[in-house]
Amino acid sequence: MLTALIALGVLAIVIGVVLGYSAIRFHVDSDPIVDQIDALLPQTQCGQCTYAGCRPYAEAIAAGEADINQCPPGGETTIQALADLLGVDAKPLNPEHGEHKDRTVVEIDEQVCIGCTLCIQACPVDAILGAPKQMHTIIKDECTGCNLCIPPCPVECIHIVPVATTLRNWSWPLPPEAGTETARYG
């Protein structure tokens, strides 16, 4: 009886030490699941999910605080990818957070801009170039279309424009499906 207790006690201590050591020695700084979730998010940093950016939202999902259907820019594709990653059922986008739209960017009407720098402070990806009392402009290639710069603008000179389809981002459409109206008469 005593031998068994001692043996189990020693075993428990040894295992405890090993586990404790490995917990420190092999400590992973960031939770990899957060990185994986973050990699699936569109990185618009728009905050429509009610979090301060894509990473905080990823952290919230990982912590089980947020649902996977709060990202309007990502839409169904992102929800499906998140569902696959986390092994949960996909669900429709929560309309409280907005609806999925085609990608857009913003444009500054440079004639109207007064150079107040408020939009520069609002842009989460530093895609606006300008200085106090100097004209501002959007670096279109870097704009994520989060529209966070629009509310602070005192002169309403920032407009949403759709991303134009060019030869470089055009995709072949799917052919008409078998048995559909277009296939039969198109």
Interface contacts to another protein, rule CB under 8 A: 38, 41-45, 53-55, 124-127, 142, 144, 165-167, 169-179, 183-184
Residues whose CB falls within 8 Å of the CB of residue 96, separated by 6 or more in sequence, listed in order: none
Q: Minimal distance in Å, beta carbon 15 to another protein?
A: 39
> Toward another protein, which CB reaches closer, 21 or 73?
73
User: Considering the complex, what minimum distance in angstroms separates the CB of residue 127 from another protein?
Assistant: 7
Q: How far is the CB of 66 from another protein (least distance, A)?
A: 18
Shortest distance in whole angstroms from residue 178 CB to another protein: 4
Q: What are the DSSP calls for 119-158, one per residue?
A: HHHH-TT--EE--TTS--EE-GGG-----TTTTT-TT--E
Nearer to another protein, 3 or 182 (CB): 182
What's the min distance (Å) between Cβ of 74 and another protein? 10
Within 13 Å of residue 182, how many CA atoms lie on the same side as its CB?
Answer: 4
Judged by beta carbon, residue 111 or residue 169, the one nearer another protein is: 169
Nearer to another protein, 38 or 59 (CB): 38
Based on the number of CB atoms within 10 Å of its own CB, is 118 exposed (0-12), middle (13-18) or buried (19 or more)?
Answer: middle
- Residue whose C-alpha is closest to residue 162's, from 143, 136, 148, 134: 143
What is the rounded distance in angstroms from the CA atom of residue 157 to the CA atom of residue 173? 35
> Of 35 and 110, which has the nearer Cβ to another protein?
35
